[in-house]
Structure 1
């Protein structure tokens, strides 16, 4: 993946001014992906789209897609949005035993090896090796040496898959790191977070370097471009822990001395534009976002549902349909929302945005399409856009945005993506 290697090289060489970096969009929603691809296409910059091990795997994940399915899905969207094929980068996030952690470690790792092999064979070239979670027969927490050994095992599978691919293309690049935030945000109320110390980062790096060397993976080690650490950012259901650069100063100084290596920042969702830009300047050159974008999508759909209620006012609304499906099928949120007193608010508004698991549900998909079709058939007056979608109202008045629901929905979603693009110089 020459684009990523070049990006890291330019980041390490950059002086004052906007930081060289790239947003990483972790989502399977077609509007989110299409919006990211369109924004990148308009700026002529690369788009990094990542699938997580829970979303996409050999068993289908919660999207029902295998890695090859997801690649074809994103490629079609990229073609529709006018993004040049050479600017599309595909990554695999949290690739490890997470989806099968309730199994014994040997069984879970065997499943993870198959998954990583399929990701690389399908053309994914940015691979996050994440074996930080304990499996059914593991101690808690897992020793870093075990995490490194398991990462090497998966790297070996990835390298073999690349070498055996009919069209090899660029070799994979890798992301390592043991201080990995919980995918999708924290489950509990958070206080202040401890930033990874330079000593802990150095220990993680050395453990992995030695493990790669002992396994004969020196060539792959040269393609380790980033490590995941904790810069002190996170979000829970209703609160955001903001980045404080003074607390990460020594951590940032550490990575400056590591040739060819940057940080990858997870859970940056909901950080302010200024803090995102500071993260990029502090060598968090890969900024991952996921729930924050689907949260913006949900906000826009909720606003359109309010417009529909005021303007059309017939049938069961989208909001009632979505929340009804969530209550009837709670498997995607039951382990996350624990307080019965605020369950209604958590289901609809939590920053962890468990709603994102339900957009593909047939009843939800139909309700969404019905609402959008009604509003397109009977466009609402600007006064209702002003009331419920004020940012889009201003863009419509300026002639920058059409009043079609697809344009309104994409612009609402893009509000969460544009600060990332602004924070990073391509």
Structure 2
């Protein structure tokens, strides 16, 4: 039977988070009502979410956060729950905290609309997040809370049914530089050659010469390996290509979009999996540039592209999402941190972005990733073995809630050259662990 939920006022925030937790995560059919008589007369499974109960029904106390329609720093009380610290503590309730307010706060990325000190790329730093403060960042805590809610309701209410979902793994690959030496031109490769000579970097010197002579594949040309290993595990990858022309000279160091080898690679890759745009560093503050880059990819693929992930994970709310919507992007995969692994929005379930300024759900769907290669190696300074163990923990945390595990890798980190030696096996192990 349908679950009926009473709340004095069905606000946009309440409608959004209840639909997400019950329909998307728990696959449970619900109806929200603010009519007391309808709630009292209903003979099926029901509970109330308010400041005080109507009668003796199952009752979850509302903290008041979801009744607001402005953006201001809330006063958040912390309580203990199941060995964890949780926000929006309440009293005289079935749960010791407002699980719906806490979930909305995380999924909406409410804190990213408040003042904060950004990192060097003007990004919201993970250590400024409430999840990090409470030790909840590395678990899909909203999905876990939803399952706790499910078990609680199932034990208290009769004739309540929940659907099922299955764990899924979607590997995603960012192509910042399609090739290391190929398509770079004589001038750039000569400069690299001289620099390698000056440093006595024999490995790099050998790579430049042998690649230039056509005696070996370019180190970043890992596409055949990716195709084979994805086919082996029956995976459907997503590739994001950086196609910036005259972008930021320090961060958009990609091959020119008009390069024939790059264009052939993109067309070939689109036959193996989905392809999206990797908006450049420079485009984050220039919507016209974003539009131009998307048009290049649309022209190559001869269809409209509506998938994206920001280069350097430059996500500024709400500006970035509004720009993506403006150019026709409907699916974004940027939701994650560069310097920490885990679940930036508290969930491993794709969700529609909630526009806090307009107080309504948008049609832009957000796909949160859990781990990036550069995070493990560059920021956390892990060895390949340590990285493998941490990935296993993240995979298992998503499997426990039957969620979706998205990984972010780069073609160059599979090159087995320079500081990426030993990291190809990390990717292989991740695919094996996630496919079991």
Structure 1 length-normalised TM: 0.38
Report the structure, 1 or 2, having the larger helix content. 1
Report the structure, 1 or 2, having the larger strand content. 2
